[in-house]
Structure 1
Amino acid sequence: MSNTNNIKLMAFDLDGTLTQHKSKLEHSNKLVLLELSKKYKLLIVGAGQCMRIFNQMDRFPIDIIGNYGMQYGRYNEKTETLDIIENITLPCDKEDIEKRVTYLREKYGYTYFIGDNVEYHPSGCLTFPILGTKALLSDKLAFDPTREKRRKIYNDVVNVFSDYEVFIGGSSSFDLAPKPYNKYYALDKYCKENGYSHNEVIYAGDDYGIGGNDESVYKSDFGFICVDDYRDLYENVRHLL
């Protein structure tokens, strides 16, 4: 990014950007965030629930957008915890969802699975677990680590779930959020509500490829820092310190 003098807000993805996937914030990256917080407002824009993200961040003092913008938590300095300010939940037609997922399974030969056909989240978000909700972790990790299998059918999943934002999640699933909720929508809404213009914001994320949940921000007019390894966070943001 050529000009960073006007940056006021730094927004971050979590898994793969600040932390190892589903692991606590490490001390080295905590120090980086503390230094950045002296110059910028910091914000997490996450896919999961705010409190889960807050705990994974080891209760670091930061505001958090969760569930692609359906939830918002503000850090309370007095209580040293997160106050949930907004928590949107949307209904879904489970019978219709089951039919759509079954159609995709039958079309692409993924009819064998362990556990449930679909995972339903309280927010109204969904997970299409190709191997099922109770598949062995080892099987899930080995299924599609390069995402090649899911990228082949990604466009069809998008078409079948045209009323959802579709993301290639983990190593064996698709994550779906009701439209218009995605990270661009969430960050843009936050900026409008808090008086930031897009050129005052820079976002750091690792999942910016096809179907990635950072892709919507990567393709937008927000400044974007590509973090391909969370252990390299300092090197990726040192020009902003």
Structure 2
Amino acid sequence: MKTYETMIFDLDGTLSVSKSPLSDEEAEVLSHASQQLVIAIITGGRFEQIKKQVIDRLKPDANLANLYILPTSGAMMYRYEDGSWTMAYQHPFNDEEKERVISALRRALADASFDIDPVILKGPQIEDRGSQITLSALGQQQDPEVKYAWDPDRKKRRELVSLLQDLDDQFDVKIGGTTSLDITKKGYDKAFGIREFFKVTGRDITKALFVGDELVPEGNDYAATTTGIDTRSTTGPEETARIIKEVLQAP
């Protein structure tokens, strides 16, 4: 295998089960990797959610100085400096943009050929994440097994994407996670985040690998393929752990 100095990961479906903390194995492998590699995590979630799922699960020997967090699909970035997490950049929505997106999402849900019973929702269905608006169709805190069963073929979310075409002039709408749509300002997708990461850190993209579970054209990881970074598709956390081990063992 090619030798890499940097690994960039999606989170849900890649490093962890949707909205769940890293497993013991994944926490151990990622902590070990941070001693040898620069690690970046780019995902649709908020920093606080990523902290719960990843940072709080890492082992004491993890090198946090080698860890970069890019929430909201890369529209912002955090790095660890002087004992705390600091924001390197942020590109938030303004109030008018937020209102346009949230109204469009509500119309799409009302016009869809399927219904979602409000009784089954767990947590917010539409979430303002500052630099991104996310639809979690069954609610942010829905049980993972319920999420996986709801739209395994992505047909429901593809229908919602088609109902949101009026946003295409100003926003990017991508399928993410198991029940989600991630909406960012046009151009502020994972490709933007990856490019900004390399601009800010000065690292070499030719010595970096991106790993994600949504590298198909409509997936929210697909944008990574346009940056020139090497990519690997994964079926989930267990395969991701194997990929990390392969990279660490490369000559």
Which category describes the TM-score, using the shorter chain as reference length? 0.7 to 0.9
| Offset, 1:180 | 1.6
The one-letter code matched in structure 1 to 2:167 is F
> What is residue 90 of structure 1 aligned with on the other side?
93
> In the aligned structure 1, how far is the partner of 2:142 from the partner of 2:207?
44
| TM-score, normalising length: structure 1 | 0.80
Matching residue's letter, 1:159 = Q
Residue type of the alignment partner of 2:38:
K
C-alpha offsets along residues 85-112 of structure 1, whole Å, 9 cap, x if unaligned?
A: 3343221435543553455346543577
> Structure 1, residues 174-213: CA drift from partner, whole Å, max 9, x if none?
2211122111110111112222232121111112223222
The answer for the alignment partner of 2:13 in structure 1 is 16
CA 1:92 to 1:157, structure 2 compared with 1: closer, same or farther past 3 Å?
farther
**In the superposition, relative to structure 1, how do residues 146 and 87 fare at CA in structure 2: closer, same or farther (>3 Å)?**
same
**Cα-to-partner distance string for 1:20-66 (whole Å, 9 max, x where unaligned):** 22111222122222332233211111211223212211433222111
User: Are 1:73 and 2:111 counterparts?
Assistant: no
Q: Report the Cα distance in structure 2 between the residues aligned to 1:48 and 1:153, rounded to whole angstroms.
A: 20
Matched, 1:207 2:214: yes
Aligned residue in 1 for 2:183: 176
Distance 1:190 1:95 in 2: 29
> Aligned in 2, Cα 1:56/1:153: closer, same or farther, shift over 3 Å?
closer
In structure 2, the residue corresponding to 1:82 is in which secondary structure? strand
Match of 2:61 in 1: none
Q: 1:136 to 1:240 in 2, by over 3 A?
A: closer
Q: Give the match for residue 44 of structure 1.
A: 41
Alpha carbons of 1:206 and 1:134: their partners in 2 closer, same or farther (altered >3 Å)? closer
2:241 counterpart (230, 234, 237): 234
- Measured in 2, the distance between the counterparts of 1:153 and 1:166 equals 10
Which sections of structure 2, spanning at least 5 residues, go unmatched? 59-63
Q: Distance in 2 between matches of 1:192 and 1:8?
A: 16
Count, aligned residues: 234
Distance 1:122 1:197, change over 3 A: same
- For 2:29, what is the secondary structure of its paired residue? helix
Distance, in Å, in 1 between the alignment partners of 2:181 and 2:193 is 20
1:1-241 map, 5 Å:
4-5=2-3, 7-59=4-56, 60=58, 61=64, 62-76=67-81, 79=83, 81-93=84-96, 96-97=100-101, 99-101=103-105, 103-105=107-109, 107-110=111-114, 114=118, 119-128=126-135, 142-152=149-159, 154=161, 156-157=162-163, 159-162=165-168, 163-241=170-248
Coordinate RMSD, CA, aligned: 3.1
Instruction: Provide the rounded CA distance (Å) in 1 between the counterparts of 2:149 and 2:215.
Output: 22
C-alpha spacing 1:124/1:221, structure 2 compared with 1 (3 Å): closer
Contact 1:49/1:71 (8 A) holds in 2: no
